[in-house]
């Protein structure tokens, strides 16, 4: 169906991701919760965001911090109740903020009633809700490994079969080839649509179509057929925003996922840029320096590739990724300047920007001892790599650089105990730099990272060129400058960023800097670019 401009609100929106367990605790148990989020809605309204992507708050044994769901239609008591959820939707709505639910549909928890039944017998009506293969106790169907370590197959004696799990042993993959499973899933999605949510983030959605016997874990032949069927039975034809997490997506895939016809999703999270600082063909833990020329090429390819025929998400961070100012900026001397530069670089582009909680403060990675980490992926990797003979120093270097708990340290609200996150013992240690980096200080400081994000958000709402303009990379071979221009009707926007700590004496071409200076992270832009200097001009 023809979608009206109103239903495309998300094209000019900025979306904020909350990781509930680390955002704001309201009852002193050291875990963030929904009432805590409600208490911080005015902060988010002040920032100027349009929607909140909520990481899972459903009932869950928390093996993977809620990405292992045992009841898709109820809220886990640690986060609150369905009534709290209704209050969040309503209170956010009063501030013109929509709530986007995180749907984990590739797998459930092994404590979901479906799996508890499925593992009882081969002829149980729920058995084929999951993926089983015959075999003998010590001979799995093949040597596929699970993302969090160990084999992707686990033996169940009661049925003398293996079940398939791409993630932890407690996250059995759902069998999307079973129409009964798909029907159950559409009921779940409609349950939340009827509760008034504003959209969905769909976890590892490219992995719902797989061929485990051929060791294919995503982009199976039925993928788009399933997504379109889901769309038709649920959010299709509404103004809900949908964003699929697709680690393996190419530009060509994203054109299909985000086709303007609205048959699939609004957009996807693509990760080609995210994989640029690891040794090719290896894991994220196998560190490599970022090649900015490659980053410029990749981001430009996606800008040009989806212009007019799809839609980009724009992000540096999420709950799985290290914090960008530590990763590709400078979290020491130039923390504030580089955080602002990285934001400028992204917010000048076409697409929907996603802010991950604390990114707007310039929060950084934390270098803890292994005993302070909680993430299943990190703890598995620590054990596996030590067992393989890696030195503890190398393992900890990788964890400090890429561990998911970097993003999950509690939100730093103020300089009181536990950064104002909790009166109790936080589930994960608070980054000790909360005394210097916190929302209380930054919301009262004119040139803070928070104030800068707020201004960028306001600029995107004021000037349609940010939303509509086309894109052209400039100075493409220059390793120190990321510059591009956007054009729309008779306007031109120039975004010019010094991506490093060097003072750059080369002159910026005059026509880039002729227009009105809309934004800069230095008070007095001079004739050359200072360390991490970023500027936006409008002509």
Distance CA 80, CA 23 (A): 14
Contact 34, 79 (CB under 8 A): yes
Q: Contact between 27 and Ca ion (CB under 5 A)?
A: yes
Residue 29 interaction partner, one of Ca ion, ligand TEU, none, beta carbon < 5-8 Å per kind: Ca ion
- Which of 76, 245, 375, 405 is labelled catalytic? 245
Cβ-proximal residues to 225 (8 Å cutoff; 6+ apart), any chain: none
Q: State phi, psi for 386 to the nearest 5 degrees.
A: -65, -40
Joined tokens for residue 473:
């990379």
Burial zone of 462 (CB within 10 Å; 0-12 exposed, 13-18 middle, 19+ buried): exposed
Residue (of 455, 521, 514) closest to 485 by Cα position: 514
Rule CB under 6 A: say whether 13 interacts with ligand TEU: no
495 strand-pairing partners: 484, 536
CA distance 158 to 488: 64
Rule CB under 6 A: choose which of 224, 273, 385, 404 binds ligand TEU: 404
Asked if residue 76 binds Ca ion (CB under 5 A), the reply is no
Strand, coil or helix: 316: coil
Among 10, 18, 22, 33, binds Ca ion (CB under 5 A): 33
Q: Contact between 247 and ligand TEU (CB under 6 A)? A: yes
**With CB cut-offs between 5 and 8 Å by kind, which of ligand TEU, Ca ion, none does residue 27 bind?**
Ca ion
Q: Considering the rule CB under 5 A, would residue 29 count as an interface residue with Ca ion?
A: yes
- How far apart are CB 54 and Ca ion at their closest, in Å? 15
Strand partners, 211: 216
Paired tokens of 6: 């109103």
Question: Which of Ca ion, ligand TEU, none does residue 25 bind (CB under 5 to 8 Å by kind)?
Answer: Ca ion
Q: Which does 250 bind (CB under 5 to 8 A by kind): Ca ion, ligand TEU, none?
A: none
Helix 223-233 and helix 179-194, axial crossing angle in degrees, nearest 10: 40
> Across the strands, what pairs with 173?
107
- Name residues contacting ligand TEU, limited to 270-289 (CB under 6 A): 284
Stretch that binds Ca ion, among 21-29, 85-93, 339-347, 492-500 (CB under 5 A): 21-29
16 contacts ligand TEU (rule: CB under 6 A)? no
C-alpha distances in angstroms, 512 versus 479, 495, 515? 18, 8, 7
Of the residues 13, 31, 321, 399, which one makes contact with Ca ion according to CB under 5 A: 31
Q: Tell me the closest approach of the beta carbon of residue 33 to Ca ion, in angstroms.
A: 4
- Cβ atoms within 10 A of the Cβ of 507, count? 10
Annotation says 138 is catalytic: no
Residue 245 is among the residues annotated as catalytic for this protein? yes
DSSP summary character for residue 504: B
Q: Should residue 167 be labelled a site residue for ligand TEU when binding is judged by CB under 6 A?
A: yes
Question: Least distance in Å: CB of 423 to Ca ion?
Answer: 10
* Rounded Cα distance, 166 and 149, in Å: 10
Question: How big is the chain, counted in residues?
Answer: 539
Does the footprint of ligand TEU cover residue 320 (CB under 6 A)? yes
Phi and psi of 189, rounded to 5°? -60, -45
Annotated catalytic residue, options 203, 277, 330, 442? 203
Question: Could you tell which of Ca ion, ligand TEU, none binds residue 454, using a CB distance below 5 to 8 A set by kind?
Answer: none
204 binds ligand TEU (CB under 6 A): yes
Residue with the two structure tokens 């003072």:
503
Residues between 70 and 129 that touch ligand TEU (CB under 6 A)? 104
Nearest residue (CB) to ligand TEU, 164 versus 494:
164
Q: From CA 339, how far away is CA 362, in angstroms rounded?
A: 6
Q: Which does 482 bind (CB under 5 to 8 A by kind): Ca ion, ligand TEU, none?
A: none
Residue 204, contacted partner among ligand TEU, Ca ion, none, CB below 5-8 A by kind: ligand TEU
Task: Provide the binding-site residues for ligand TEU, judged by CB under 6 A.
Answer: 64, 67, 104, 147, 167, 203-204, 245, 247, 284, 319-320, 377, 404
Task: Provide the binding-site residues for Ca ion, judged by CB under 5 A.
Answer: 25, 27, 29, 31, 33
Active site residues: 203, 245
């Amino acid at each position: 169906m023809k979608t009206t401009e109103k239903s495309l609100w998300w094209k000019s929106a900025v979306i904020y991701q909350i990781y509930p367990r680390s955002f704001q605790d309201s009852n002193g148990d050291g875990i963030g919760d929904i009432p805590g989020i409600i208490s911080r809605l005015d902060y988010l309204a002040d920032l100027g965001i349009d929607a909140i992507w909520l990481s899972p708050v459903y009932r869950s044994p928390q093996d993977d911090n809620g990405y292992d769901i045992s009841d898709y239609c109820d809220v886990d008591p640690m986060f609150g109740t369905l009534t709290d959820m209704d209050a969040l939707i309503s209170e956010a709505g009063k501030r013109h903020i929509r709530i986007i639910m995180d749907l984990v549909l590739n797998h459930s928890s092994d404590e979901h009633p479906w799996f508890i039944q499925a593992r009882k017998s081969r002829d149980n009506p729920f058995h084929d809700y999951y993926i089983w293969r015959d075999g003998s106790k010590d001979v799995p169907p093949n040597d596929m490994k699970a993302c969090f370590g160990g084999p992707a197959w686990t033996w169940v004696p009661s049925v003398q079969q293996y079940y398939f799990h791409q993630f932890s042993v407690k996250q059995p993959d759902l069998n999307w080839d079973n129409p009964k499973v798909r029907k159950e899933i559409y009921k779940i999605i409609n349950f939340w649509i009827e509760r008034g949510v504003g959209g969905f983030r769909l976890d590892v959605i490219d992995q719902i179509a797989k061929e485990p016997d051929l060791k294919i874990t995503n982009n199976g032949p039925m993928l788009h057929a399933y997504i379109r069927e889901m769309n038709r039975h649920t959010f299709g034809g509404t103004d809900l925003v949908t964003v699929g997490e697709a680690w393996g997506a190419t530009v060509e895939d994203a054109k299909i996922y985000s086709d303007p016809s609205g048959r699939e999703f609004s957009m996807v999270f693509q990760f080609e840029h995210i994989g640029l600082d690891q040794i090719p063909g290896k894991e994220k833990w196998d560190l490599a320096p970022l090649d900015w020329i490659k980053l410029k090429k990749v981001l430009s390819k996606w800008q040009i590739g989806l212009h007019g025929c799809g839609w980009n998400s724009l992000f540096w961070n999420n709950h799985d990724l290290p914090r960008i100012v530590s990763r590709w900026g400078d979290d020491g001397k130039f923390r504030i300047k580089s955080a602002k530069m990285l934001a400028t670089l992204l917010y000048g582009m076409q697409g929907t920007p996603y802010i991950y909680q604390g990114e707007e403060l310039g929060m950084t990675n934390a270098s803890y001892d292994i005993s302070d980490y909680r993430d299943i992926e990190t703890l598995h990797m620590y054990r596996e790599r030590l067992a393989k003979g890696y030195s503890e120093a190398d393992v900890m270097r990788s964890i400090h650089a890429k561990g998911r708990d970097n993003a999950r340290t509690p939100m730093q609200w103020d300089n009181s105990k536990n950064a104002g996150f909790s009166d109790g013992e936080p589930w994960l240690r608070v980054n000790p730099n909360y005394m210097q980096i916190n929302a209380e200080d930054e919301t009262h400081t004119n040139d803070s990272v928070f104030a800068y994000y707020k201004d960028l958000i306001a600029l995107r709402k004021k000037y349609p060129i940010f939303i509509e303009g086309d894109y052209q990379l400039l100075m493409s071979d220059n390793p120190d400058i990321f510059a591009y221009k956007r054009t729309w009707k008779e306007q031109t926007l120039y975004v010019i960023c010094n991506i490093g700590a060097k003072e750059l004496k080369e002159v910026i071409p005059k026509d880039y800097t002729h227009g009105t200076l809309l934004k800069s992270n230095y008070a007095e832009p001079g004739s050359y670019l200072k360390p991490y200097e970023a500027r936006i001009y409008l002509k």
